[in-house]
Structure 1
Amino acid sequence: MQVSVLIPTHNRVDLLTRTLSSLCDVNAPSGVRIEVIVTANACTDGTHAKVVEIAENFPFDLIIAEESEPGQNHARNKCLQKANGEILAFVDDDVRFDEDWILGLVNVFERYNADVVGGRTKLWWGAVDKPDWFRPRLSPILAGYDRGEEVKEVGLPGPVGANMAFHRRVYEEIGGFHTAIQDEDNPLYRGNEVEYLQRAADAGFNGYYAPDALVYHWVSPDRVTPGFFKQAGRGYGHSRVNMKDHFGPFTAARSSAGYLYLAAWHGFRQALAWSTGKTAAQYYHSYTKNVGLGGLEGTLHRLKERLG
């Protein structure tokens, strides 16, 4: 069996270097070949040269690809085009690997005939102290994914893009990632993988959670600020509208009603949380309110496009 570890990156060479260093310590199960493909997505910070340098003494095959079109899903598609593995494992460029990460992935694919596997992703509080107000329900907004200690079947979309893998048969049937989700009106491009995982579900593929396929996802200081939760919500709401292939008047009306309700209800809950001093609830409802606002913005944008 061959595993392709796929890492899209954009101008974060120091974080990428740390991630690759961590990957050096991952155990390679017997009979499993590993290749690592890094796609430099419109990078201008010396990423290509640094990966070439690292590759000289790397324990696995390390390949650097270039993608000039900005956007995470463009970079993901380039990774897929270069990959040779039966298992296609995407990770972010700012994670730290548990030494049994690949073993945890492979075991679930082999024992359960899994199509899609979401690895356990814990938050890595290395650059900022975990705030006293932080609560577990905020973790998924920061790309945390922890469903406990047992392997279990999960619905799709479920896994997070920081640590997800799928069998090559999924890619061969449903193709690459949707590249129209990110645009100049939605620079944060939240939820890029959601559309892909939903397509996998619609095609009848299964999903599993792998607790031993563990990575630690770095939390940057700016991600525990009100501004981040607001921007993340707006980006995800906008993305969900861009995920839709067909967007006629009926879809626009239904989407507008749903997103308006989301914005209004969670705006009220945010104000209530502020009045009672519940900080975690303020952040959660701010995020969800802004999913609604972002969805409304995205709907307006799609309508303008349709009307010319």
Structure 2
Amino acid sequence: MQVSVLIPTHNRVDLLTRTLSSLRDVDVPSNVRVEIVVTANACTDGTEARVAKIDERFPFEIIVVEEPEPGQNHARNKCLQKASGEILAFVDDDVRFDEGWLAGLVDVFREYDADVVGGRVKLWWKAVDKPEWFESYLSPILAGYDHGEEIKEVGLPGPVGANVAFHRRVYETLGKFYTAIQGDDNPLYRGNEVKYLQRAAGAGFSSYYAPDALVYHWVSPDRIKPDFFRQAGRGYGYSRVQMKDTFGPYTACRSIVGFLYLSALHGLGWIAAKAVTDTAREYQQLYTSNIGLGGLYGSWMRLKDEGLG
């Protein structure tokens, strides 16, 4: 079995270098070959040259390619284009691999004949101390994905893009990632992988959670501030609208009413949590209310650009 580790990156060469360094120490099961595909997405920080130097002394083959079109899914598509593995494993450029990551991933594909595997993602509090107010229910907003110690079948689009793998047959059936949600109106591109996972569900592919396929996702200092939760919510709400295949009268009305309700209800929740200084709840309500605002903005943009069609 060959596993292609696919890493899209944009101007974060120091973080990428640290991620690759941790991959060096991963245990490789018998009869498994590993290649790494790094896509430098509109990079201007010397990513390609730095990775080329790493490749000279790395235990696995590293393929580094350029994708000039900005956007994470453009970079993901270039990764897929260059990969030759039977297993296509996407990870973010700011994770630290547990030594058992590869074995945990391969075991689930082998034992369950899985189509999609979502690896465990724990938050990595290295750049900033974990705040006293932080609660576990905020972890998914920061790309955490932790469902305990047992392997289990999960619904799609459950896994997160920081640590998700596909059997090649999924790619051969679905083709490329959807790129239309990426633009200046959606700076955080929340939900880039959701459309792909929804399509996988529609095609009848199975999905499993792999607790031993563990990575630690770096938490940057800005991600524990209100602006991050605000922007992340708006980006995800906008994305949810842009991912809809059609936007006719029924879909438009349902979206507008639903997002209006979401923004109003959780906006009030945000005010209430702020009043009693419940910071975790305040940020959670801020995030959810902004999903509503982002969805309303996305609905307006679709109506403006397409009308009811």
Aligned residue in 1 for 2:259: 259
Deviations 1:19-60 (A, max 9, x none): 001110011111000000000000000001011111111100
Aligned residue in 2 for 1:162: 162
Residue identity matched to 1:44: T
- Bigger mean CA offset, 182-191 vs 226-235: 182-191
Residue identity matched to 2:249: P
Superposition map of 1:198-237 within 5 A: 198-237=198-237
Question: How far apart in 2 are the matches of 1:180 and 1:122?
Answer: 29
Partner SS for 1:192: coil
Partner SS for 2:193: helix
Question: How far apart in 2 are the matches of 1:58 and 1:250?
Answer: 55
Question: How far apart in 2 are the matches of 1:8 and 1:276?
Answer: 41
Aligned residue in 2 for 1:289: 289
CA shift for structure 1 position 252: 1.2
Question: How far apart in 1 are the matches of 2:298 and 2:159?
Answer: 24
Superposition map of 1:71-220 within 5 A: 71-220=71-220
Aligned residue in 1 for 2:55: 55
Question: How far apart in 2 are the matches of 1:182 and 1:302?
Answer: 14
Aligned residue in 2 for 1:26: 26
Deviations 1:92-122 (A, max 9, x none): 0000000110100000001011110000000
- Bigger mean CA offset, 280-289 vs 179-188: 179-188
Deviations 1:168-187 (A, max 9, x none): 11111111110001111111
Deviations 1:124-180 (A, max 9, x none): 000000000000000000000000001011110000100000101111111111000
Superposition map of 1:5-20 within 5 A: 5-20=5-20
CA shift for structure 1 position 270: 1.1
Residue identity matched to 1:256: I
Aligned residue in 1 for 2:68: 68
The alignment's TM-score, normalised by the length of structure 2, stands at 0.98
Structure 2: gaps of 5 or more residues? none
Question: How far apart in 1 are the matches of 2:102 and 2:276?
Answer: 45
CA shift for structure 1 position 250: 2.1
Question: How far apart in 1 are the matches of 2:173 and 2:92?
Answer: 24
CA shift for structure 1 position 274: 1.4
Partner SS for 2:69: coil
Partner SS for 1:119: strand
Q: Matched residues, percent identical? A: 73
CA RMSD, Structure 1 to Structure 2 (Å): 0.9
The alignment's TM-score, normalised by the length of structure 1, stands at 0.99
